[in-house]
């Protein structure tokens, strides 16, 4: 292909529309992506960002509209053609091959190399190591993908995009599972790629990241493109107004809930190599934050309490009674609920309907004696959809068809229906748009006011500060702080979160 004139955009999308079963989710989108720019796509959950990205990557075909690549009309009927054209999509949900090694996953993404069968093992491993070094990630590339943390899986996806030598790299919410240091690394790589003249599309709900990284932004609302503008010309308030079409409702911390008896008590909980001597309690009506960096062991503690991967020593008590939870069903029976950050683990049943997913944790209520009470199921599900403003076409739709943020809301709805006495929320607002966060926080506040004990794992400091009565901090598998609301500041949390080894170096 001849090189196009310098001002010809890499991608020129015109009149792009997309419908799924009669429902139009993108409408007449015109958008230019320039060479050598980092371009953000913004919008509320369900606005159409991922759908647009998937059209560029050949995952979906537009219902109407045309695409030009360097001024030439193109069809992108499938992801293989997209790869060949130099377009790579890093998905919102990593889609690696779990049983293949990291190195094999990297090679599979390569477009211009030789086919898999002809890549010598040693060379493949060496190249994979070089790539991971470039990203500054330490991991054993001969290990299978299964068992890697989501952050590491994401890094493999990013490395795969680098390896494929793409000219358009689309990152769909890549930073959610990453530590601040990993985010910095990713941004440095993105900038380098841009400076080489490649185009990056960056999708994120975090405005500060968009501001730090991107040159231009495009805002979607309800499937329409609302605006494309240089980031420097928009304030945060401008962006939010474009996104939600109304001013943002601030989260107001309502009168504090009455704090009651200890509901969850954890003593000296230990899982060797993962966390050690973790002790804390959460009282009824209390919201206790658990801060720290990704990988500090917070999710491991939650999984241990919930019986997913039990601790080897220490005790857990619920409402004053020591319990020995070996599996999640026991935890649920004891009144615990765990909303996990990892949608794949917390049990999205992708092919089942939204309704079935929402009511999945209350089989006894929905189907007493094994007979499903359809009307009740429907009523409970539609009530949740209304309360959490879940965007969908129908309750009977497979949940896998919902946008990422809306899937997250449906899973939260599922656990709320169990009416738990202890609720563990693990990064619950990851991928949730700014427009619903206020509602979300209010709901968490109401749950506490209703006497529930809430443990909130979050990497977002403003969220911890706004919601919590106390903030615990973990670092390298240990609790390093227990900060009262009055003393909780971003600095206090961060200084307890940073590993001692790093602090020594910094000092």
Task: Give the interface with ligand ATP as residue ranges (CB under 6 A).
Answer: 20, 25, 43, 45-51, 92, 391, 401-406, 433
Q: How far is the CB of 300 from ligand ATP (least distance, A)?
A: 27
Q: Which does 47 bind (CB under 5 to 8 A by kind): Mg ion, ligand ATP, none?
A: ligand ATP
201 and 33 in contact (C-beta within 8 Å)?
yes
CB atoms within 10 A of CB 9: 18
Closest approach of Mg ion to the CB of residue 407, in Å: 10
Q: How many CB atoms lie within 10 A of CB 337?
A: 24
* Residues in region 152-211 near Mg ion by CB under 5 A: none
Which residue in the set 13, 40, 50, 91 belongs to the binding site for Mg ion (CB under 5 A)? 50
Q: Which does 428 bind (CB under 5 to 8 A by kind): Mg ion, ligand ATP, none?
A: none
- The phi and psi torsions of 341 (rounded to 5 degrees) equal -70, -25
Q: Can you tell me the distance from the alpha carbon of 413 to that of 399, in angstroms, rounded to the nearest whole number?
A: 13
* Beta carbon of residue 154, minimum distance to ligand ATP (angstroms, whole number): 15
The region of 18-26, 48-56, 112-120, 191-199 touching Mg ion under the rule CB under 5 A is 48-56
Residue 25 or 82: the one with the smaller Cβ distance to ligand ATP is: 25
285 binds, among ligand ATP, Mg ion, none (CB under 5 to 8 A by kind): none
88: which strand partners?
169
Smallest separation (angstroms) from ligand ATP to the CB of 328: 26
Sheet holding 87-90, edge to edge: 72-74, 64-69, 11-20, 23-33, 224-230, 216-221, 38-42, 199-203, 168-172, 87-90
Q: Are 422 and 455 in contact (CB under 8 A)?
A: yes
Q: What is the 3-state secondary structure (H, E, C) of 357-405?
A: HHCCCCHHHHCHHHCCCHHHHHHHHHHHHHHCCCCCCCCCCEHHHCCHH
Calculated CA dihedral for residues 92, 93, 97, 100, nearest 10 degrees:
90
Contact call for residues 400 and 381 (beta carbons, < 8 A): no
Sequence-ordered list of residues with C-beta below 8 angstroms from that of 235, at least 6 positions apart, any chain: none
Minimum Å distance from CB 489 to ligand ATP?
Answer: 30
Which of ligand ATP, Mg ion, none does residue 391 bind to, with CB < 5 to 8 Å depending on kind?
A: ligand ATP
Min CB(348)–Mg ion separation in Å: 14
Are 385 and 337 in contact by the 8 Å Cβ rule? The answer is: no
For residues 18 and 56, the answer to whether their CB atoms sit within 8 Å is: no
Between 414 and 430, name the residue whose CB sits nearer to ligand ATP.
430
Selection from Mg ion, ligand ATP, none that 460 binds (CB < 5 to 8 A by kind) is none
Please give the helix or strand (H or E) that residue 213 lies within, else none: helix 207-213
Kindly tell me which of 19 and 421 has the beta carbon lying closer to Mg ion: 19
| Residue 51 CA from chain centroid, whole number | 17
Look up residue 347 and give its DSSP letter.
T
Name the residue with the smallest CB distance to ligand ATP: 405
The nearer residue to ligand ATP, 14 or 391, going by C-beta atoms, is 391
Report the residue number whose CB is nearest to Mg ion.
50
Q: How far is the CB of 215 from ligand ATP (least distance, A)?
A: 21
403 vs 475, beta carbon nearer ligand ATP? 403
Size of the site for Mg ion (CB under 5 A): 3
87/243 with CB nearer ligand ATP: 243
Cβ atoms of residues 49 and 203 within 8 Å = yes
Nearer to Mg ion, 103 or 390 (CB): 390
Q: Which does 401 bind (CB under 5 to 8 A by kind): Mg ion, ligand ATP, none?
A: ligand ATP
The per-residue b/e assignment along 407-424, b for 16 or more CB within 10 angstroms, e otherwise, is: bbbbbbbbbbbbebbbbb
For the chain, the C-alpha Rg in angstroms (whole number) is 23
**What are the structure tokens assigned to 236, written together?**
């945060």
For the bound state, the minimum distance from the C-beta of residue 182 to ligand ATP, rounded and expressed in Å, comes to 21
For the bound state, the minimum distance from the C-beta of residue 76 to ligand ATP, rounded and expressed in Å, comes to 17
Stretch that binds Mg ion, among 16-24, 70-78, 193-201, 404-412 (CB under 5 A): 404-412
51 binds, among Mg ion, ligand ATP, none (CB under 5 to 8 A by kind): ligand ATP
Q: How far is the CB of 168 from Mg ion (least distance, A)?
A: 17
The reply to whether 407 sits near Mg ion by the rule CB under 5 A is no
Residue 404 is a binding residue for Mg ion (CB under 5 A) = yes
CB of 60 to ligand ATP, least distance (A): 7
Residue 133 tokens, joined: 């070094």
Cα–Cα distance, 425 to 339 (Å, whole number): 5
Give the pair of three-digit tokens for residue 27: 């409408």
Instruction: Report the nearest approach of Mg ion to the CB of residue 65 (Å).
Output: 20
Nearer to ligand ATP, 281 or 460 (CB): 460
Residue 494: count other Cβ atoms within 10 Å of its Cβ: 15
Point out which span in 362-370, 384-392, 399-407, 461-469 binds Mg ion (CB under 5 A): 399-407
**Quick one: which segment of 343-351, 366-374, 400-408, 467-475 binds Mg ion (CB under 5 A)?**
400-408
* Residue 139, φ and ψ in degrees, nearest 5: -160, 155
Nearer to ligand ATP, 86 or 405 (CB): 405
**CB nearer ligand ATP, residue 403 or residue 459:** 403
Binding site for Mg ion (CB under 5 A): 50, 403-404
């Amino acid at each position: 292909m001849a090189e196009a004139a310098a001002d010809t955009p890499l991608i020129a999308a015109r009149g792009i529309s997309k419908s799924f079963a009669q429902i139009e989710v993108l409408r007449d989108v015109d958008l230019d992506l320039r060479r050598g720019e980092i371009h953000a796509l913004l919008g509320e959950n369900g606005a159409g960002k991922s759908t647009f990205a998937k059209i560029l990557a050949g995952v979906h075909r537009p219902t109407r509209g045309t695409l030009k690549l360097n001024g030439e009309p193109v069809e992108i009927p499938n992801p293989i053609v997209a790869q060949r054209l130099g377009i790579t999509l890093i998905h919102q949900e990593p889609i690696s091959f779990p049983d293949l090694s990291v190195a094999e996953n990297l090679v599979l993404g390569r477009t211009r190399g030789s086919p898999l069968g002809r890549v010598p093992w040693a060379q493949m491993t060496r190249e994979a190591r070089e790539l991971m070094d470039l990203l500054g990630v330490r991991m054993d590339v001969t290990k299978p993908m299964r068992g890697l943390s989501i952050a590491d899986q994401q890094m493999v996806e990013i490395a795969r995009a680098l390896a494929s030598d793409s000219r358009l790299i689309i990152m769909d919410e890549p930073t959610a599972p990453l530590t601040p240091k990993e985010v910095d690394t990713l941004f440095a790589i993105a900038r380098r790629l841009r400076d080489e003249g490649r185009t990056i599309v960056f999708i994120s709900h975090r405005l500060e990241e968009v501001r730090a990284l991107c040159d231009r932004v495009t805002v979607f609302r309800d499937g329409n493109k609302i605006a494309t503008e240089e980031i420097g010309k928009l304030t945060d308030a401008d962006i939010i107004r474009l996104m939600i079409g109304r001013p943002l409702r601030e989260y107001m911390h309502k009168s504090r809930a009455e704090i009651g008896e200890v509901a969850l008590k954890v003593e000296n909980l230990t899982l060797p190599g993962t966390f050690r001597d973790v002790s804390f309690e959460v009282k009824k009506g209390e919201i206790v934050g658990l801060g720290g960096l990704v990988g500090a062991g917070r999710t491991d503690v939650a999984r241990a309490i919930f019986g997913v991967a039990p601790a080897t020593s220490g005790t857990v008590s619920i409402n004053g009674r020591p319990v020995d939870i070996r599996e999640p069903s026991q935890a649920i029976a004891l009144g615990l609920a765990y909303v996990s950050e990892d949608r794949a683990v917390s049990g999205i049943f992708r092919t089942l309907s939204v309704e079935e997913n929402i009511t999945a944790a209350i089989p006894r209520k929905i189907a007493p004696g094994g007979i499903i009470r359809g009307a009740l199921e429907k009523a409970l599900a539609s009530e949740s959809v209304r309360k959490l403003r879940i965007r969908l076409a129908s309750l009977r739709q497979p949940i896998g068809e919902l946008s990422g943020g809306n899937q997250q809301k449906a899973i939260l709805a599922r656990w709320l229906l169990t009416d738990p006495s202890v609720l563990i929320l693990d990064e619950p607002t990851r991928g949730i748009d700014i427009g619903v966060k206020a509602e979300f926080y209010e709901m968490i506040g109401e749950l506490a006011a209703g006497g529930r004990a809430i443990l909130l794992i979050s990497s977002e400091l403003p969220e911890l500060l706004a919601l919590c009565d106390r903030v615990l901090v973990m670092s390298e598998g240990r609790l390093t702080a227990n900060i009262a609301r009055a003393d909780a500041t971003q600095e206090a949390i961060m200084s307890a979160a940073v590993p001692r080894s790093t602090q020594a170096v910094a000092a």
